[in-house]
């Protein structure tokens, strides 16, 4: 039974995870402002996003595993403290170099997702777990939307530094409450951190994500891009070998091979590609001046408001999924969420001449995001051993991020591959990009159909043996 107020615990987890999710998208609309204020180039300013992405991809699974080993509450408080320091450093940053370092520090907060899911699983009553995970997923999904919507008004009214001052205050208060009221989870994994595995994981993630994020600047055929992709393949193979041979792997590959886990992760990769690309390119589409033959010439603030239906729909469907999951099952909700994403992108590829069409698409896609986020988390948490929750949910978040990087990179090639004499993309670039995203979301829905029709839940009696937990389902429930 919960030892302290689960409502207060949930509020702490939602505040931390929501702020981190917001930080992912909050700075993107303000990059031109940051570039001008800190007197830097556009290529250098993009590192404000890239550094955050790389840092989060490294720390999310590693610190998720650390939480499984030494205690999720202890790790949560440490991560929140680091995020607060990162936001403070960013708010005070006198140069672009300092701001990039601050974003690396903020990226540590990626671990808040797996740690929060693990704490819910450990501390909440069984009847509360699925609904609480869905509600937290709704907050995480909506956090990214809040960043897109709120960035313009905050920068216009207060200046770009307040994009970090506001999170400083929220995270500092959240840290103090977490230290006092969040209970320490009793479930601990055996062993210690496999630092060789952690190093190789970090290396192949950087080698993969760095060229994906910088290829538009370096050139897809450049030696740096092709060399890093080749290095990523080699490092990934070495990581698999190191993890398979380790007695205490960072990521237990036996758990990753569970049918419910690998199918959910495949859907996460494909849906993430569509989701992050929409977040990246739809605001740019509506901000394109009408002289290009499309677009609405919207300001940053107006573009954010046009995305408001997505924010509201994400939160609504995420919360609703917690009520629907016991009836329909997480597999059905994941399939429906991905299908809604495909429908939205397909509609956008065909009809985007009026602002109401874009707003409608944003709302439909938001419904899909809310359902998909919540169901992915529930499928992973319900399928892995308790002492693997942090690492498994951390990898799921990472795989979604990898998909997002791939989707954004490929869409960027389609959108910016051929430019008008004015330097603006042709409408066909966006049309082809949205059509591709529709296919990716459709593929995610097909992958979701492969998720087993039954979800396993691990018996406490098995909690002493990772191998048994990974191999033996002891209680099943229709999903």
Q: DSSP string of 464-475?
A: T-HHHHHH---E
Q: Which of 153, 151, 175, 174 is nearest to 163 (CA)?
A: 151
Quick one: pLDDT at residue 226? Answer: 94
- The whole-number pLDDT of residue 454 equals 56
Residue 370: closest CA among 146, 147, 139: 139
Are the beta carbons of 313 and 137 closer than 8 angstroms?
no
How far apart are the C-alpha atoms of 472 and 479, rounded to whole Å?
Answer: 18
How far, in Å, CA of 395 to CA of 273, rounded? 16
* The pLDDT of residue 446: 96
Q: Which token pair is 302?
A: 């107006």
- Six-digit token pair at 227? 């060399």
Same fold? 1-191, 252-479:
yes
CATH 1.20.1250.20 fits domain 1-191: yes
Task: Give the start-end residues of each E strand in 168-300.
Answer: none
How open is the CA angle 80-82-88, to the nearest 5 degrees?
A: 105
Residue 466 has what pLDDT? 38
What gap in Å lies between CA 65 and CA 81, rounded to an integer?
A: 18
Q: 165: which 2 tokens?
A: 């001052």
Distance of alpha carbon 441 from alpha carbon 457, whole angstroms: 28
Alpha-carbon 320 to chain mean position: 20
10-residue averages of pLDDT along the chain (479 residues) = 69 90 83 87 81 87 86 93 96 94 93 90 86 87 82 88 94 92 78 83 90 84 93 95 86 87 95 87 88 87 86 89 88 95 95 92 93 90 83 85 86 84 89 94 96 56 40 38
Helix axes 72-92, 47-70, angle to 10 degrees: 160
Q: Give the DSSP H/E element, type plus range, for residue 396.
A: helix 389-416
Pairwise CA distance, residues 80 & 73, whole Å: 11
Nearest alpha-carbon partner for 113 in 133, 127, 128: 133
Question: Is domain 252-479 annotated with CATH 1.20.1250.20?
Answer: yes
Query: Which H or E element spans position 476?
Result: strand 475-478
- The DSSP symbol for 184 reads P
Question: Within 107-222, where are the H helices?
Answer: 112-123, 126-158, 162-181, 195-218
Triad 107, 148, 309: Cα angle to 5°: 135
Tell me the C-alpha distance between 133 and 121, whole Å: 8
Q: What's the CA gap between 460 and 56, in Å, rounded?
A: 31
Exposed, middle or buried: residue 446 (CB in 10 Å: 0-12, 13-18, 19+)?
A: middle
Residue with tokens 């036996």: 254
Q: Any idea which residue has 């199918």 for tokens?
A: 263
- What element of type H or E holds 52? helix 47-70
The Cα–Cα gap between 354 and 350 comes to 12
Q: What is the pLDDT of residue 355?
A: 92
Distance CA 235, CA 208 (A): 10
Spell out the domain ranges in the chain.
1-191, 194-247, 252-479
- Two structure tokens written together for 191: 């062993």
Kindly report the pTM of this predicted structure. Answer: 0.81
The residues near 459 (Cβ < 8 Å, ≥ 6 apart) are 474, 475
Query: How far apart, in whole angstroms, are the C-alpha atoms of residue 106 and residue 84?
Result: 8
């Amino acid at each position: 039974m919960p030892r302290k107020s689960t409502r207060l615990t949930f509020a702490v987890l939602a505040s931390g995870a929501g702020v981190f999710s917001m930080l992912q998208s909050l700075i993107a609309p303000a990059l031109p402002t940051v570039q001008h204020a800190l007197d830097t180039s556009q290529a250098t300013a993009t590192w404000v996003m890239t550094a955050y992405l790389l840092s989060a991809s490294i720390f999310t699974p590693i610190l998720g595993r650390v939480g499984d080993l030494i205690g999720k509450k202890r790790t949560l408080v440490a991560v929140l403290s680091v995020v607060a320091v990162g936001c403070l450093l960013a708010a005070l940053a006198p140069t672009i170099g300092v701001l990039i370092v601050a974003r690396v520090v903020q990226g540590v907060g990626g671990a808040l997702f797996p740690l929060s899911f693990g704490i819910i699983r450990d501390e909440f009553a069984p009847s509360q777990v699925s609904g609480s995970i869905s509600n937290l997923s709704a907050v995480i999904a909506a956090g990214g939307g809040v960043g897109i919507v709120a960035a313009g008004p905050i920068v216009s009214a207060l200046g770009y530094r307040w994009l970090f001052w506001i999170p400083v205050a929220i995270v500092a208060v959240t840290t103090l409450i977490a230290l006092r009221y969040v209970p320490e989870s009793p479930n601990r994994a055996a062993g210690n951190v496999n630092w060789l595995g952690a190093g190789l994981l970090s290396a192949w993630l950087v080698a993969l994500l760095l060229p994906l994020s910088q290829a538009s600047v370096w050139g897809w055929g450049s030696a740096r891009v092709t060399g890093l992709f080749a290095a990523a393949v080699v490092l990934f193979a070495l990581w698999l070998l190191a993890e398979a041979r380790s007695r205490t792997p960072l990521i237990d590959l036996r758990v990753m091979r569970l049918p419910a886990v690998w199918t959910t992760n495949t859907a996460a990769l494909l849906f993430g590609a569509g989701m992050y690309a929409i977040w990246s390119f739809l605001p740019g589409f509506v901000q394109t001046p009408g002289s290009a033959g499309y677009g609405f010439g919207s300001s940053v603030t107006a573009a954010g408001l046009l995305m408001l239906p997505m924010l509201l729909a994400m939160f609504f469907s995420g919360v609703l999924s917690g009520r629907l999951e016991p009836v329909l099952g997480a597999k059905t909700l994941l399939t429906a969420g991905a299908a809604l994403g495909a429908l939205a992108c397909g509609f956008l590829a065909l009809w985007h001449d009026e602002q109401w069409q874009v707003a409608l698409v944003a709302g439909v896609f938001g419904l899909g995001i809310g359902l998909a986020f919540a169901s992915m988390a529930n499928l992973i948490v319900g399928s892995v051993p308790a002492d693997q929750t942090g690492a498994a949910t951390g990898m799921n978040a990472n795989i979604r991020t990898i998909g997002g990087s791939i989707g954004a990179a490929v869409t960027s090639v389609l959108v910016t591959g051929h430019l008008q004499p004015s330097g603006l993309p042709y409408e066909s670039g966006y049309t082809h990009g949205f059509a591709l995203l529709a296919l990716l979301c459709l593929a995610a829905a097909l992958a979701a159909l492969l998720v087993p029709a039954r979800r396993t839940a691990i018996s406490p009696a098995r909690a002493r043996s990772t191998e048994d937990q990974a191999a033996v389902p002891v209680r099943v429930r229709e999903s």
